[in-house]
Amino acid sequence: MKDISKRLQSTREIKNFKMAKKVFVSYNHKQIEWVKSRLIPCLTAGGSDILVDYKEFGAGRTVIGQMDSTQDKADIHLLVLTTEYLNSTYCQHEMNRAIDLDPDFQKGIVVPVLRASCELPDRLTGQKMPIYVDLKNDTDKAQWDRLMKSCEADLGISASNWLKVRDEVCRYIERGISVNMVTYGRVKWRELLEHIRKDYFNDFGIIDVEDPRVTTRKALVEEILKQCGTHRIVSKKAGEDLVTLGCVISEKTSPSRLIMKHFHEVICRRYYDNELFSSLRYLMTESQKLVLLIQSRKPYAEILPHDNPLSSVTNLKIVELRGDI
């Protein structure tokens, strides 16, 4: 019976598993900032496999040849339409190849995205014209939802709100202000943290409080030092771990940045004492040598006891990432 149960579970998992859609992004380079900073982060975090020139193209081969070979891998062809796009020979080539695959727009594999007012070509007008995604105003929640759905991508929250939270977090971090990002529901917060780390602040270290390797205070301090760029085995003598932490972080010329995931789990770590939190508070507020990006399911003040040193920190900003219900 156990073998049968395992086979049934495996069958269900296979049926529920969905391959990520390969999305070819066709755009004019006048739109590269928007494509790189807003469009692709949302699609990638939402689960799409992105095919785009600056990731796929390499030296030593023709542009047209690489355009065609990359486009031929795609399940969905996303056309970012502007006047510059429609006046570009290369962009017209990509657009026409995409439409040739579905000239009557019945398969949903060609997704036109209107980024600016422009005169559309005959192939995209008339009785058989496809439904557009109108992102001339790219804070439009409904249009973002239409785009994400067309690419079978899901952030668990509207893309416009996901980007709004990203921008708010980055503004605070840029100013040296620590942030508590409180996440609710099935929202793509891990992907958001990775995006911020990879594309905005690549000096961010990262610690997962759930990780059993950081159960003790000493182990946590060593991991903080490691993630901040210093591999140091701290002394076992009482209090020496915090002395080393303070010395190393304070000696750095610029503040260290650290992501702490699953911060709500600190209540389960009995070795994390007030001395540890007092040291973190000092490095964050007094010496201003440590900037934290804390992810938790509740605001930090609701997680920690009222007498915890971090509970008194007033310049740790709360940013909510609240998933759709």
Per-residue DSSP letters for 214-252? G-SHHHHHHHHHHHTT---PPPSSTTHHHHHHHHHHHHS
Nearest C-alpha neighbor of 100 from the set 64, 71, 80: 71
Task: Give the domain CATH number at 251.
Answer: 3.40.50.300
| Dihedral Cα 258, 259, 263, 268, nearest 10 deg | -60
The vertex-144 CA angle with 142 and 148, nearest 5°, equals 120
Q: At 65, is the pLDDT very low, low, confident or very high (cuts 50, 70, 90)? A: confident
Question: What's the CA gap between 240 and 279, in Å, rounded?
Answer: 12
Question: What's the CA gap between 83 and 263, in Å, rounded?
Answer: 48
What is the total count of domains within the chain? Answer: 2
Following DSSP, what letter does each residue of 55-79 receive, concatenated? HH--TTS-HHHHHHHHHTT-SEEEE
Q: At 266, is the pLDDT very low, low, confident or very high (cuts 50, 70, 90)? A: very high
Task: Give the domain CATH number at 128.
Answer: 3.40.50.10140
The vertex-71 CA angle with 67 and 73, nearest 5°, equals 130
* 136-140 LR contacts (CB < 8 Å, sep 24+): 138/34, 138/38, 139/164
Count Cβ atoms below 10 Å from residue 50 Cβ, excluding itself. Answer: 22
* Residue 187: domain span: 159-322
Q: Which tokens go with 46?
A: 């939402």
Least confident of 12-26, 27-41, 169-183: 12-26
Same domain, 200 and 290: yes
pLDDT digits over 178-205, tens only? 999 999 999 999 999 999 999 999 999 9
pLDDT at 8 over 60: no
pLDDT of residue 2: 47
Q: Which of helix, strand or coil describes residue 150?
A: helix
Residues 6+ apart with CB under 8 A from 103: 123
pLDDT at 175 over 90: yes
Same domain, 312 and 163: yes
| Domain end (from 106, 128, 150) | 150
Write the single-letter amino acid at 43: L
Same domain, 101 and 13: yes
| Domain end (from 101, 117, 150) | 150
Residues 6+ apart with CB under 8 A from 201: 170, 173, 257
Least confident of 8-17, 45-54, 260-269: 8-17
Phi/psi at 22 (5° precision): -85, 115
Residue, of 234 and 78, whose pLDDT is higher: 78
pLDDT over 70, % of the chain? 94
pLDDT at 82 over 90: yes
| Domain end (from 132, 150, 168) | 150
Same domain, 169 and 143: no
Write the single-letter amino acid at 175: R
Same domain, 143 and 173: no
Same domain, 129 and 217: no
Chain-centre distance of CA 137, in angstroms? Answer: 21
Same domain, 99 and 203: no
Least confident of 4-18, 143-157, 241-255: 4-18
Same domain, 144 and 127: yes
pLDDT digits over 219-256, tens only? 999 999 999 998 888 888 988 999 999 999 999 999 99
pLDDT of residue 73: 94
Same domain, 214 and 271: yes
Question: What's the CA gap between 194 and 137, in Å, rounded?
Answer: 26
pLDDT at 15 over 60: no
pLDDT of residue 325: 58
Same domain, 136 and 174: no
Average pLDDT over residues 279-307: 95
Phi/psi at 51 (5° precision): -115, 110
Q: Which residues of 110-136 are buried (b: 16+ CB within 10 A; e: fewer)?
A: bbbbbbeeeeeeebbeeeeebebbbbe
Average pLDDT over residues 16-39: 90
Q: At 84, is the pLDDT very low, low, confident or very high (cuts 50, 70, 90)? A: very high
Same domain, 210 and 302: yes
The residue written with tokens 């030092």 in the block is: 225
Same domain, 207 and 89: no
pLDDT of residue 236: 87
Q: What is the DSSP letter of 18?
A: -
